[in-house]
Amino acid sequence: MSATPILQIGTSRFLQAHVDLFVSEALRQGSAVGPVTVVQTSGDPGRSARLAALSAKEGYEVQVRGVEGGQLIETQTRVTSVARTLSLPGDLDRVRDVVVNEARIILSNTADAGFRPCEADCRTTFDQAMSYPAKLTWLLYQRFRESGAGIQIMPTELVPHNGEVLRDLVFGIADLYPAVFRNWLESDVIWVNSLVDRIVSEPLEPAGAVAEPYAFWAIEDQPGLLVPCSHPDVRVVPSLEPFETLKLFILNLGHTYLVSRWLAEVTLKRHKFVRDMLADPEAAADLEDLYTREVVPGFAAHGRKDEAAAYVETTLDRFKNPFLDHKLADIAQNHAEKIERRIGAFLTWARQANASFSAPRLDAISAASAKVRML
């Protein structure tokens, strides 16, 4: 098997229909750094069929369905960028070998709770119970010890400044290792902030997914940056902040607001998908009013009213996509963390520019969630 310069931590349907799809399309044009090794970190034997299908020679299917430029889009493509799949802890030695000898880029998407520290992180021997940052630290130490070659780390988790956040978590765990390892992490490892944006609503079995036409991957530029692939939906930008705040505080905040209502109000429980909520006149009007009265004014405080209003219109169209079965129950996973990172963070950001900023509905959701966490 040829070398795989991209190591991907995570098997989510999002990665299948975003990063892996981009790399697959770029490989056909000769404009990607190379194929991908995908690593499942959960060790779940029930996902063995998914792992096999991801790396099948014929690839797996991604269906793109929605409205783009006023036209209905329904296309299918085969993704063939995944050359190898491995699973932890069973394939630990092989994963270690890929990190030490093949990888030039390590990508990840470990969900909203993926960076959360845990008790096992205090060990320097590999433990399946470790958080992703601790597992990454262990793997990077193997590379440092055996080759010392530099490498690039590119998280795609929806965390502001995700590369810097992951870097700082790894730096803290690296204090358990020899000091020269920490020096190498600072000098020879490139930590990249990036932002991904695409609604991937449902999986296909045994692998693949259904996604909307809209797709975007913003990568923050820095010296030495290695872009995984050249693709129309991939942009290298001087700063992620404009894109990050729009997505996190409009699209993702809107999802979490809808789910907060869905969880709290019995009359909304009949709805299953995001598009169902947008087809409910009262729920749709409430969301649009929230954007108008509480969200766009927060952007206006930062001098960004017009771009926020335009992104709201795009977001509402995406939410209404008749083809996407975007389950409210899926969005509700890790709900407390999402409230903190999407709604709580928005309130803090808006009040940095306007201390008297008013957002009663968002404040109520944030306060209720904080109260539950304290119990």
283 token code pair = 């729920």
Q: What's the CA gap between 127 and 166, in Å, rounded?
A: 19
Instruction: List the pLDDT tens digit at each of the 375 positions of the chain.
Output: 679 999 999 999 999 999 999 999 999 999 999 999 999 988 777 678 899 999 999 999 999 998 877 678 899 999 999 999 999 999 999 999 999 999 999 999 987 677 889 999 999 999 999 999 999 999 999 999 999 999 999 999 988 899 999 999 999 999 999 999 999 999 999 999 999 999 898 899 999 999 999 999 999 999 999 999 999 999 999 999 999 899 999 999 999 999 999 999 999 999 999 999 999 999 999 999 999 999 999 999 999 999 999 999 989 989 999 888 899 999 999 999 999 999 999 999 999 999 999 999 999 999 998 877 665
Predicted local distance difference test score (pLDDT) of residue 202: 86
* pTM of the full structure: 0.82
| Residues listed for the chain | 375
Amino acid at 69: G
359: nearest Cα among 288, 292, 274: 292
Could you write out the DSSP letters of every residue in 270-338? T--BHHHHHHSHHHHHHHHHHIIIIIHHHHHTTT-HHHHHHHHHHHHHHHT-TT---BHHHHTTTHHHH
Is 4 exposed, middle or buried (CB count within 10 Å of its CB: 0-12, 13-18, 19+)? buried
**What values do phi and psi take at 306, rounded to 5?**
-65, -45
CA distance 314 to 75: 21
| CA proximity to 27, closest of 210, 227, 221, 231 | 231
Tell which residue, 1, 29, 47, 45, has the closest CA to residue 16. 47
Closest CA relative to residue 112, chosen from 298, 18, 252: 252
| Dist. CA 353–CA 360, nearest whole Å | 17
Domains delineated in the chain: 6-237 (3.40.50.720), 242-374 (1.10.1040.10)
